[in-house]
Amino acid sequence: MTVPPRTASSAAAAAVPIAASASSASVASAGEPALKVAPLELFLDLVFVFTVTQLTGSLAHHLTPGGLAQVMVMLALIWWMYDAFIWLTNAMPPSTHGRRGLLMLAMGAFLVISLSVPHAFQGSGAAFGWAYLVVVLLHTGMFGAAGVAPESVLRMGAANLALGGLVVAGGYLTGTVQLVFWTAAFAMQYVTQRAARLPAFRLRSDHFVERHGLIMIIAFGESVIAIGVGAGALGLGPSLIAVALLSLSVCVGLWWAYFGHDDDARAEHHMAALADAERNRAAVLVYYLGHFGLLLGVLLFAAGVKAAVAHPGAASTLPQAAALSGGVALYLIVNAAIRRFFALRPNRARLLGAALILAAVPLGASVSATDQVGAVAAVLAGVFAYEARRRSVGDFERD
């Protein structure tokens, strides 16, 4: 499915408030049916749940600079192709049996990638690499069959195949050399963006923004799962209930930072008001790179909270405490940057909150995990209460 070009310029979108952008979006969308996320896309997300769980588990067991680097590279590679399938279903919804069958094949390949994550740098890298190459081939073939911007798809497919080749080659190596190969594959993503000539693709903002919002809910769900996994076989006493509820409060805070005040709908209106080329560049900047940062923040928090719930009354190790606070702080910083891009305010309180949350690391490392989680939850509550007060008096446009 292709979309008629929008005529609103990016400069005009930046110069008017969000309410005006919403009006522009309505005009731009007149006459075309809404493109909603298909049930099969949600089914595909079940595999991404498992992927996030596997990455969180790997990080929790290797909370070292090297372990973090490995998880970051794997997340970047997986998210690149997963996000590429969001672009694909935006152009050609899974409305036929053939398309659905190919998406299910991709689901199987993503599952193999997820299964190989825990030992991708200790022996299962080859499985990761070949499954990744299958995902690339399916994506390129399906995009080619859609007949959307054939020259751009050819260029994109060639660049992605080169990227996939690096992942396959690196999968047969180990240690630092493997990490170098996969980091080079990560760097190839920039080449792919340039080769694909993104302005040739016409994104539907309604589907694209909704799809990424659902992905974030999936990620928040992993944090909730981490609470349950951390609890394990512990007896259900007051300390466990307290740290679990406080951890859930932090998850709610992350959700509110993304969806509060209909921020996702306002972002959709802003995207719809952009010209095609600007919208596509925003899609890469905000919804690939920006959401990579958000997902990494959630992963770090989930790894930290798993340890916190497992030992609620004891102090965490410094890496565990740093992961818990660092993940939430990273999430807030990236979230504020995304909101600034979409002209959403206020934001300064979120940046100050990120600094205060980082300051809670010594609390978890020297006092107790419960105290640290409680402090993080309190900071988030304070940030959003301050924002609500600013909104109630209409004093937030300068922020």
Question: Which pLDDT score is estimated for 183?
Answer: 95
User: Do 243 and 379 fall within a single domain?
Assistant: yes
Distances (CA, A) of 294 to 24, 79, 193, 291: 28, 12, 21, 5
Tokens 């998850």 sit at which residue? Answer: 251
Q: How far is Cα 190 from Cα 168, in angstroms, rounded to an integer?
A: 19
| pLDDT > 90: percent of the chain | 59
Sign of CA dihedral 202, 204, 209, 212: negative
The count of domains in the chain is 2
Determine the Cα–Cα distance for residues 355 and 359; give it in Å rounded to an integer. 6
Query: What pLDDT digit, counting tens, does each position of 196-237 carry?
Result: 666 567 888 999 999 999 999 989 988 898 888 888 767 888
Task: Give me the pLDDT at residue 396, please.
Answer: 56
For 170, the domain range is: 37-200
| Tokens coding 209 | 């923004």
Query: Taking Cα atoms as reference points, which of 191, 96, 204, 88 lies closest to residue 147?
Result: 88
> Which of 163, 181, 200 is the last residue in one of the domains?
200
Query: Do 284 and 149 fall into the same domain?
Result: no
**Residue 83: pLDDT band by 50, 70, 90 thresholds?**
very high
Q: What is the mean pLDDT of the chain?
A: 86
CA distance linking residue 289 with residue 266, whole number of Å: 19
Say if 16 falls within a structural domain. no
Half-sphere exposure of 200 (CA within 13 A, CB side): 16
CATH number, position 214: 1.20.1410
Q: Is residue 288 domain-shared with residue 191, that is, in the same domain?
A: no
Give the mean pLDDT of 10-18.
34
Instruction: Clarify whether residues 317 and 382 are in a common domain.
Output: yes
Last residue of a domain, one of 200, 223, 250: 200
Write down the pLDDT at residue 390: 83
Long-range contacts (CB closer than 8 Å, 24 or more residues apart) made by 53-56: 53/222, 53/225, 54/114, 54/115, 54/117, 54/118, 55/117, 55/299, 56/222, 56/226, 56/299, 56/302, 56/303, 56/306
Greater model confidence, 27 or 285: 285
Contact 133, 168 (CB under 8 A): yes
Helix axes 291-310, 205-231, angle to 10 degrees: 20
- Return the top range by mean pLDDT from 4-8, 270-274, 311-315, 323-327: 323-327
Helix and strand tally (H, E) in the chain?
A: 17, 0
Q: What is the pLDDT of residue 32?
A: 62
Distance of alpha carbon 223 from alpha carbon 49, whole angstroms: 11
Does residue 165 form part of some domain? Answer: yes
Query: Do residues 189 and 251 both lie within one domain?
Result: no
Mean pLDDT, residues 3-19: 36
In a domain, 399, yes or no: no
Using CA atoms, how far apart are residues 280 and 284, in angstroms rounded to an integer? 6
**Residue-wise pLDDT tens digits, 136-192:** 999 999 988 877 777 777 888 888 899 999 999 999 998 899 999 999 999 888 777
Residue 54 has what pLDDT? 94
Is 2 among the domain residues?
no
**Nearest to residue 259, comparing CAs of 326, 224, 209, 190?**
209
**pLDDT tens digits, residue range 331-357?**
999 999 999 999 888 899 999 999 999
Residue 82 is classified by DSSP as: H
pLDDT at position 10 is: 36
Residue 91 within any structural domain of the chain: yes
| Whether residues 305 and 347 fall in one domain | yes
Same domain, 195 and 220: no
Residues 82 and 196 in one domain: yes
More confident residue, 371 or 33: 371
> Does any domain span residue 32?
no
Evaluate whether residue 15 is within a structural domain: no
Convert the pLDDT of each residue in 115-143 to its tens digit.
Answer: 999 999 998 999 999 999 999 999 999 98
Is pLDDT above 70 for 383?
yes
Do 230 and 179 lie in one domain? The reply is no
Cα–Cα distance for residue pair 76/184, rounded to 1 Å:
11
| C-alpha–C-alpha distance, residues 254 and 192, integer Å | 31
Instruction: Determine the residue type at 388.
Output: A
Same domain, 213 and 354: yes
211 shares a domain with 155:
no
Q: What is the dihedral of CA 99, 219, 268, 393, to 10 degrees?
A: 170
| pLDDT band for position 392 (cuts 50, 70, 90) | confident
Cis peptide before 346 (omega within 30 of 0): yes
In a domain, 311, yes or no: yes
Domain boundary among 200, 216, 241: 200
Q: Name the E strands within the chain.
A: none
Give the model's confidence band at 11: pLDDT under 50 very low, under 70 low, under 90 confident, else very high: very low
3-state secondary structure of 342: coil
Statement to judge: residues 314 and 332 lie in one domain: yes
Mean pLDDT of 245-265: 92
Rounded distance between C-alpha atoms, residue 309 and residue 292, angstroms: 26
